[in-house]
């Protein structure tokens, strides 16, 4: 992942040398854009973290997120939708000789409003700011004490803010780096679940704030 970021940063820094070759080809236009991106997400540094159990999670632990954006631009303003899928197999939670093996998943779908600058630093460089609010689905499942399975699904609210830089190396294709900030709120996580664990306390709600550095590609239709 670090090597990918270094490679793309290299491209973004040194591509201006070749930008003039594309000046006649890359013209700001009204179009549809499909972005596919992926990155490491850090959900345990601020807020409650991602676990449905009260525990001391490692702040440096991270999961994986991938996403797809579909945006239609009219000059510098765009609107569309985003889909994001986060997944993480958490480190074992242990207390008094007992343990929980937990996996978390988050699905997020939301309308997006976007602003772009197609000549941010030089011809072909595109900057974008995206904002959205939408539906989020949370799932915590796993095994308690290596014998008892559990599942705690929950629906909630999500908000995302994305800042990105893209280089369009021709009219239809681009490479990009971005950073996404995402907030998720879930409540009644273990509602109606009958399982109980004496040494572990269930969380009734989550307030998660994740920061996700990403790399991706863009297709301009």
Q: Determine the CATH number of domain 2-220.
A: 2.40.160.20
Please tell me the distance from the alpha carbon of residue 213 to that of residue 41, in angstroms, as a whole number.
Answer: 7
Per-residue confidence of the chain (221 residues) as pLDDT tens digits? Answer: 545 444 444 444 544 444 444 444 444 457 899 999 999 999 988 888 899 988 777 788 899 999 999 999 998 899 999 999 999 998 777 776 778 899 999 999 999 999 998 877 778 788 999 999 999 999 999 998 888 888 999 999 999 999 999 999 888 999 999 999 999 999 999 887 777 666 678 888 999 999 999 999 999 98
How many other CB atoms sit within 10 Å of the CB of residue 184?
Answer: 24
Q: In this structure, what token pair is assigned to residue 114? A: 């976007």
Is the separation of the CB atoms in 189 and 154 below 8 Å?
A: yes
Domain ranges of the chain: 2-220
| The pLDDT of residue 14 | 45
Residue 44 to residues 49, 53, 160, 181, Cα–Cα distance (Å): 4, 13, 17, 13
Is the separation of the CB atoms in 65 and 36 below 8 Å?
A: no
């Amino acid at each position: 992942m670090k090597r990918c970021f270094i490679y793309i940063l290299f491209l973004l820094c040194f591509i201006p040398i070749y930008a003039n070759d594309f000046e006649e080809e890359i013209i700001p236009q009204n179009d549809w854009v499909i972005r596919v991106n992926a990155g490491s997400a850090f959900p345990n540094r601020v807020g409650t973290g991602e676990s449905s159990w009260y525990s001391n999670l490692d702040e440096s632990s991270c999961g994986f997120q991938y996403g797809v954006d579909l945006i239609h631009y009219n000059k510098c303003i765009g609107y569309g939708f985003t889909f994001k899928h986060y997944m993480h197999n958490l480190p074992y939670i242990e207390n008094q000789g007992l343990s929980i093996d937990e996996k978390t998943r988050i699905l997020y779908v939301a309308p997006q409003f976007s602003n772009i600058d197609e000549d941010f630093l030089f011809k072909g460089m595109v900057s974008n700011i995206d904002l959205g609010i939408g539906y989020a689905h949370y799932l915590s499942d796993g095994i308690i004490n290596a014998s008892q399975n559990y599942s705690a699904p929950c629906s909630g609210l999500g908000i995302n803010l994305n800042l990105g830089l893209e280089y369009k190396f021709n009219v239809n294709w681009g490479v990009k780096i971005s950073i996404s900030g995402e907030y998720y709120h879930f409540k009644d996580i273990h509602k109606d679940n009958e399982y109980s664990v004496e040494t572990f306390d269930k969380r009734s709600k989550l307030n998660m704030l994740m920061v996700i550095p990403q790399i991706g590609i863009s297709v301009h239709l």
